[in-house]
Chain A
Amino acid sequence: MILIVDDKPENLFSLKTLLQLNLYDVDTAASGEEALKKILKIEYELIILDVQMPGMDGYEVAEIITGYSKSKDIPIIFLSAVNIDKRFITKGYTSGGVDYVTKPFDPDLLLLKIKTFSKLYRQTKELNDIKNNLEQKVEERTAELKQANKNLEASNAELQQYAFIASHDLQEPLRKIITFTRIIEERFLENTPEVKEYLDKIISSSVRMRTLINDLLNYSRISIEPVFVFANLTNLINQALADLEVSILEKKAHFQINNLPVIEVVPEQITQVFQNIISNALKFSKKDIEPVITITGELVQRKSAESKPAVNGNYCRITITDNGIGFDEMYIEKIFSMFQRLHGKAEYKGTGIGLSIAKKIIENHNGIITAKSKENEGSTFIIVLPVKQTAAQAKAPVN
């Protein structure tokens, strides 16, 4: 609907007829005041405003229309017989008009202008509607996401608690199975080796179960808020070696460790990583060949196993090489997954969780871990860790 405002009825009539002939809905007002009353009630797509009117002139009306939020975007075309000076035309634009047409006007051109401005107005309205709609949808989605996140956090905390309690409560009866089975063996079965054999199987399964529960417990504990401090990697390695003392002596293993840098880590966790990898190196050593394990560290440019060394690099690459039985690289994904083993239980003991714990810890440190190997030709484990943990990284939760 278009509104024509003019105090002269003959102008209103002629313009109205022109527009109606071109299939527009038209409304009229004989004064600024009447126009304003109508604008409050009806939504127009365009207003044609005569400038010279008694009472309020066109400029005043325009200023009021553009000041009112519901009508501020409605295009206003000024019509004027006089006042064709530049400053009047300027005034027309500055009071909110989009066009200033002087009489006599060309009806064809006026119609074209009306068509264009109407279209523009409709498009602007559509855009605004879409915008509001989008904003609302984004708000809804954000609220949904926030809630989902809250739920996940709660569920996570519950699961960790569950893992902790389950493992604790499971350990208790297990301990008794082991203890009393051993008592039966010692006290009553000294002379019946076959029965003893069966009982041994019960005991070894129970011991294995206990180890599994312990490993699961350790794995579930890793994600708890990490506390990073600067630590000397060489010291952490030595600690891991101390924990593996018995095994090292047994296998007569030799170590070559070159000076590793100081980086920001959770010390107990990184010691655990070293322990797990070195323990594997000892376990999977070649029969009758003394294990030789080399550990080196250097600063590198990027977080990648192949990155070039850089004196002031932001990452530290740690390489642990052994001369053991190695593995086929096609199993690389498998060795880092939980409970996946490449050898039977009888050949090599272990639960198969050591490397997946190492991987989880390294990921918790925003680093990467990978390995290279060939069957019978030893293995190399490569870890790349950031030298410094930024505040954002330190807080980022890792599943």
Chain B
Amino acid sequence: MTKALSFLLVDDDSDDTSLFKEVLEEVNSSIIFNSAEDGQQAIQFLKSRTNELPDVIFLDLNMPKMGGKECLTQIKKDEHLHKIPVIMYTTSSQSKDIEETMQKGAICFITKPTNIKELKNILASIAGSVHNNLEKTLRNLSNTINTFMVC
């Protein structure tokens, strides 16, 4: 039996978090969903779950206490966590943010879509290729959908 996938969303916005959770359920109800409200909470969560680490981390940028950039740095520094693919999932579309986060090791930068169909599409694609060329799938996806994505 294949182990169920697990996603972690780090975002301080409760509306976006509920939406993400809802859409993810529609895409694949077997995917385990966890969320954290800021970078600090996320790191704490990850450190307490070394045997059940998420398969993908979705990281927002602007959060209180510890923001996305700092959290990303910490994840990539940690010997247990650095292998987990991190996708920036934020309202920003600024090139400064894109450059910095890609440099720090994020595999993709996605500006939160306002279209639910697109969010579904994105999550479905990611769920289907987590262990199977995730980066390539994301790159192809960025060319076909309207949502702003950089891989």
Residues of A within 8 A of B (CB): 171-172, 175-176, 178-180, 182-183, 186
Partner of B15, one of A171, A176, A186: A176
5 contacts between A and B (CB under 8 A): A175-B91, A178-B114, A179-B114, A182-B114, A183-B116
Across the interface, do B91 and A179 meet the contact criterion of CB distance under 8 Å? no
| Chain B residues whose CB sits within 8 angstroms of the CB of A183 once the complex forms | 19, 116
Across the interface, do A186 and B116 meet the contact criterion of CB distance under 8 Å? yes
Closest chain B residue to A183, Cβ basis: B116
| Chain B residues whose CB sits within 8 angstroms of the CB of A178 once the complex forms | 114
| Chain A residues whose CB sits within 8 angstroms of the CB of B116 once the complex forms | 179, 182-183, 186
Residues of B within 8 A of A (CB): 15, 19, 91, 112-117
Closest chain A residue to B113, Cβ basis: A179
| Chain B residues whose CB sits within 8 angstroms of the CB of A179 once the complex forms | 19, 113-116
**A186 CA / B112 CA spacing, docked (Å):** 18
Dominant SS at the B interface?
loop
Closest chain B residue to A172, Cβ basis: B91
Across the interface, do B117 and A175 meet the contact criterion of CB distance under 8 Å? no
Query: Shortest Cβ distance from B133 into chain A, in angstroms?
Result: 27
Across the interface, do A175 and B115 meet the contact criterion of CB distance under 8 Å? no
Query: Shortest Cβ distance from A275 into chain B, in angstroms?
Result: 16
| Chain B residues whose CB sits within 8 angstroms of the CB of A182 once the complex forms | 114-116
**A176 CA / B116 CA spacing, docked (Å):** 12
Query: Shortest Cβ distance from B69 into chain A, in angstroms?
Result: 17
**A172 CA / B113 CA spacing, docked (Å):** 12
Q: Which of B15, B91, B112, B114 has the most CB of A within 10 A?
A: B114
| Chain A residues whose CB sits within 8 angstroms of the CB of B117 once the complex forms | 186
**A178 CA / B147 CA spacing, docked (Å):** 14
**A172 CA / B115 CA spacing, docked (Å):** 15
Query: Shortest Cβ distance from B39 into chain A, in angstroms?
Result: 19
Query: Shortest Cβ distance from B124 into chain A, in angstroms?
Result: 16
Closest chain B residue to A174, Cβ basis: B114
**A252 CA / B15 CA spacing, docked (Å):** 42
**A181 CA / B127 CA spacing, docked (Å):** 26
**A175 CA / B91 CA spacing, docked (Å):** 9
Closest chain B residue to A207, Cβ basis: B114
**A178 CA / B15 CA spacing, docked (Å):** 13
Query: Shortest Cβ distance from B123 into chain A, in angstroms?
Result: 15
Across the interface, do A171 and B91 meet the contact criterion of CB distance under 8 Å? yes
**A347 CA / B44 CA spacing, docked (Å):** 55
| Chain A residues whose CB sits within 8 angstroms of the CB of B19 once the complex forms | 179, 183
**A332 CA / B4 CA spacing, docked (Å):** 64
| Chain A residues whose CB sits within 8 angstroms of the CB of B112 once the complex forms | 175
**A232 CA / B19 CA spacing, docked (Å):** 47
Query: Shortest Cβ distance from B9 into chain A, in angstroms?
Result: 16
| Chain A residues whose CB sits within 8 angstroms of the CB of B113 once the complex forms | 179
Query: Shortest Cβ distance from B93 into chain A, in angstroms?
Result: 9
Query: Shortest Cβ distance from A272 into chain B, in angstroms?
Result: 14
Query: Shortest Cβ distance from A167 into chain B, in angstroms?
Result: 12
Closest chain A residue to B23, Cβ basis: A183
**A183 CA / B117 CA spacing, docked (Å):** 9
Q: Which of A172, A176, A178 has the most CB of B within 10 A?
A: A176
